[in-house]
Chain A
Amino acid sequence: MNSISVVFFSSLRESLGLGEYSFTLNAPMTIGELKKQLAERLDNGQALLASGIQSSVDFDFARDNDVISDTAREVAFFPPVTGG
Chain B
Amino acid sequence: MISVQQEDFQVQALYERLLKSNQTGAVAMFVGLVRQFADLPKDACTFELEHYPGMTEHNLQSIVDEANTRWPLLDVCVVHRVGRLSVDDQIVFVGVSASHRAEAFQACDFIMDYLKSRAAFWKKETQGEQSQWVSAKEDDALSLARWSDSQV
Distance from A45 Cβ to chain B, minimum over Cβ atoms (Å): 19
Proximity bits, A73-84, B CB within 8 Å = 1, else 0: 000101111111
Name the residue in A52, A59, A60, A79 with the highest tally of chain B Cβ atoms < 10 Å from its Cβ. A59
Query: Which of B5-13, B15-23, B66-74, B131-139 participates in binding chain A?
Result: B131-139
Partner of B80, one of A9, A76, A83: A83
Residue of B32, B58, B91 touching A59 (CB-CB under 8 A): B58
Task: Say yes or no: B32 contacts A60, CB within 8 Å.
Answer: no
Nearest to A76 among chain B residues (CB) is: B52
| Chain B interface mostly | mixed
Contact of B101 with A by CB under 8 A: no
B72 to chain A, nearest CB (A): 25
CA distance A58 to B118 in the complex (A): 15
Chain A 48-68, CB-CB to B under 8 Å as 1, else 0, gives 000010001001110000000
Residue A37 at the chain B interface, CB threshold 8 Å: no
Q: B119 at the A/B interface (Cβ < 8 Å)?
A: yes
**Chain A residues positioned under 8 Å from B117 (CB to CB):** 80-81
Interchain CA distance A10-B82 in the complex, whole Å? 13
Min C-beta distance of B29 to chain A, whole Å: 14
Q: By the criterion CB–CB under 8 Å, are A56 and B55 in contact?
A: yes
Chain B interface residue count: which class?
20 to 34
| Cα distance A26–B5 in the bound complex, in angstroms | 38
| Chain B residues within 8 Å of A83, by CB | 49, 51, 80, 92, 115-116, 119-123
Question: B121 touches which one: A7, A60, A84 (CB < 8 A)?
Answer: A84
- B120, A9: Cβ atoms closer than 8 Å: yes
A29 and B115 alpha carbons, distance in the complex (Å): 30
Beyond contacts A80-B117, A83-B121: 11 other A-B pairs, Cβ-Cβ < 8 A, are A9-B50, A10-B133, A56-B55, A60-B58, A61-B118, A79-B122, A80-B136, A82-B116, A82-B121, A82-B123, A83-B115
Give B residues with C-beta under 8 Å from A: 32, 49-52, 54-55, 58-59, 80, 91-92, 112, 115-124, 133-136
Interface residues of chain A, those whose CB is within 8 Å of chain B, are: 7, 9-11, 52, 56, 59-61, 76, 78-84
